[in-house]
């Protein structure tokens, strides 16, 4: 039985790598945010708007526990999931946790283009966005680095880069 959790900051490539890696490893793929949206029939943004971040984190926690009961799965979590409650300890206790590590500069470049779906980044751009990412990542890293595998995911420009990352991860897992 295999259960892998893919964690990392927003824009680290968890969903992209997760889909490819799950296929190679013969595991079912679950994106925790997509799972939440399916269960609640609401977008993450709507849940943030209606229940606030605290409400979202409670739902995220409950849904994490729900999907962690499945076997032979690769679960990619939202960027904040490992940093609330004892979620990180919980994941380490029931599977292998992989942290996709990306620098602040690279994250800022990636997120500038696709920040609109992420309530946490609402209204930020340019230097303000980069400063926010730097400070937020600094706080989150103490949680992320509890993962049993820490993997450099800085270079992920092409499909070949994604394939190479997941092939390398497959060897490690």
Considering only 5, 18, 22, 80, the residue that binds ligand S3P (CB under 6 A) is 80
Q: 3-class SS at 108?
A: helix
Considering only 3, 115, 118, 143, the residue that binds ligand S3P (CB under 6 A) is 118
Choices 17-25, 114-122, 125-133, 153-161; region in contact with ligand S3P by CB under 6 A: 114-122
Residue whose token pair is 């996709």? 100
* Binding of residue 44 to ligand S3P (CB under 6 A): yes
Q: 3-class SS at 74?
A: strand
* Binding of residue 79 to ligand S3P (CB under 6 A): yes
Would you state the structure tokens that stand for residue 36, as one six-digit string?
């939440």
CB of 1 to ligand S3P, least distance (A): 25
Give the Cα separation of 83 and 74 in Å (integer).
19
Tell me how far CA of residue 5 lies from CA of 52, 97, 104, 120, in angstroms.
25, 5, 22, 22
Choices 17-25, 62-70, 78-86, 158-166; region in contact with ligand S3P by CB under 6 A: 78-86
Would you state the structure tokens that stand for residue 87, as one six-digit string?
């979620």
Q: Which helix (H) or strand (E) holds 64?
A: helix 44-67
Considering only 13, 18, 95, 119, the residue that binds ligand S3P (CB under 6 A) is 119
Binding mask 8-27 for ligand S3P (x = CB under 6 A): --x---x-------------
Contact 80, 8 (CB under 8 A): no
Report the residue number, 27 or 133, with the smaller CB distance to ligand S3P: 133
Can you give the binding site for ligand S3P, defined by CB under 6 A?
10, 14, 33, 44, 78-80, 118-120
């Amino acid at each position: 039985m295999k259960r892998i959790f893919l964690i990392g900051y927003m824009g680290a490539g968890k969903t992209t790598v997760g889909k490819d890696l799950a296929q190679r490893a013969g595991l079912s793929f679950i994106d925790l945010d997509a799972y939440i949206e399916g269960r609640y029939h609401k977008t993450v943004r709507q849940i943030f708007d209606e229940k606030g971040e605290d409400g979202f984190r409670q739902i995220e926690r409950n849904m994490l526990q729900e999907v962690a009961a499945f076997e032979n799965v690769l679960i990619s979590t939202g960027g904040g999931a490992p940093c609330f409650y004892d979620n990180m300890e919980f994941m380490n206790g029931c599977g292998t946790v992989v942290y996709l590590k990306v620098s602040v500069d690279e994250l800022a470049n990636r997120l500038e283009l696709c920040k609109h779906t992420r309530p946490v980044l609402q209204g930020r751009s340019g230097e303000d966005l980069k400063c926010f990412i730097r400070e937020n990542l600094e706080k989150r890293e103490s949680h992320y680095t509890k993962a049993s595998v820490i993997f450099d995911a800085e270079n992920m420009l092409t499909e070949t880069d994604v394939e190479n990352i997941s092939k390398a991860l497959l060897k490690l897992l």
